Structure 1
């Protein structure tokens, strides 16, 4: 009888923990994302979607801007996971590379801008804690993470775009 009571209590406890997590999302991240999305859409509507689209498309003509400035702005302004919606401003064949660059930047940004991807913050803080215990400052670490991240997303974006174009050419040749 004691085991059945223990099982019943703990079994329902799993669902209670899940419900508490769900309530945390409903009262935390979901309203934040809705407000960010509303704000972003309002700014785009105020400026004019055609102008914004044109400006970003003009800047996306250059790979260095497409795979550095655009993903950095997307992650810092829209945060993870909404940052990937910035990909709507690039050409179809560049979308995989933009996504690769943006998704690769959500970790390096956490040292300087922890709100951008709070889910990855525990990784950065674990490393930063070790750096602090060794007697070093966390500031230079955060800056180095950010700068290394920008270099990595540029490389990943260029390589992924090259691979995508190669695959498109191969698929068109076989058709």
Structure 2
């Protein structure tokens, strides 16, 4: 087999494997994503957009909720990258800390809510694949990711808020 034949065979083989992977994702994760997203938007409609907005404004008042509940709601309700728009409810001096806590949560959220940040889904699926091959349960991993992310985003939000306050004083 000459080099041109080899290249042609392997070049198209690359796309065939990509097509198989796409089909597998489309028949496994895509329906779940669509149902989760539909459920989220239905809940917003059921509760009412005004009530959801008031709840978000309330969560921005307190440090504990600003760096835990608020980032979770923004990602689950709006997904990435629209989740950043919840920053409009935060005081200007606290926005860096809010964004820090928000981005901390963007990867771990995909374990339980894959629609929230689809770009990170492939990272989680790679890790989950290794966990499955080791004979372990991925649902346990997903819950642990989610819970530890809440703790870490609170810590990062609090620390970043203090650093920002210090820098504002120096200016």
Settle same-fold status: TM greater than 0.5.
Answer: yes
Partner Cα separation in structure 2 for residue 52 and residue 126 of structure 1: 34
CA contact (8 A) 1:53 1:89 kept: no
* Paired position in structure 2 for 1:161: 161
Match of 1:69 in 2: 69
Residue in 1 aligned with 2:59?
59
Q: For the residues of structure 1 that align with 2:133 and 2:52, how far apart are their CA atoms?
A: 46
In structure 2, what is the equivalent of residue 141 of structure 1?
Answer: 141
Q: Does the alignment pair 1:104 with 2:104?
A: yes
Q: 5+ unaligned residues in a row in structure 1: which ranges?
A: 1-31
SS at match of 2:135: coil
Q: Tell me the secondary structure at the aligned position of residue 136 of structure 1.
A: coil
Q: 1:90 to 1:53 in 2, by over 3 A?
A: farther
Q: How many Å separate the matches in 1 of 2:148 and 2:58?
A: 26
TM-score, normalisation: structure 2: 0.69
Deviations 1:12-69 (A, max 9, x none): xxxxxxxxxxxxxxxxxxxx9xxx9xx7xx96xx654xx7655433332211100000
User: Per the alignment, in what secondary structure is the counterpart of residue 85 of structure 1?
Assistant: helix
> Deviation per CA, 1:112-160, whole angstroms, max 9, x where unpaired?
0011111111111111111100001100000000001111110110011
SS class of match (2:68): helix
**RMSD between superposed Cα atoms in Å:** 2.4
SS of 1:142's equivalent? Answer: helix
Runs of 5+ consecutive residues of structure 2 not aligned to the other structure: 1-33
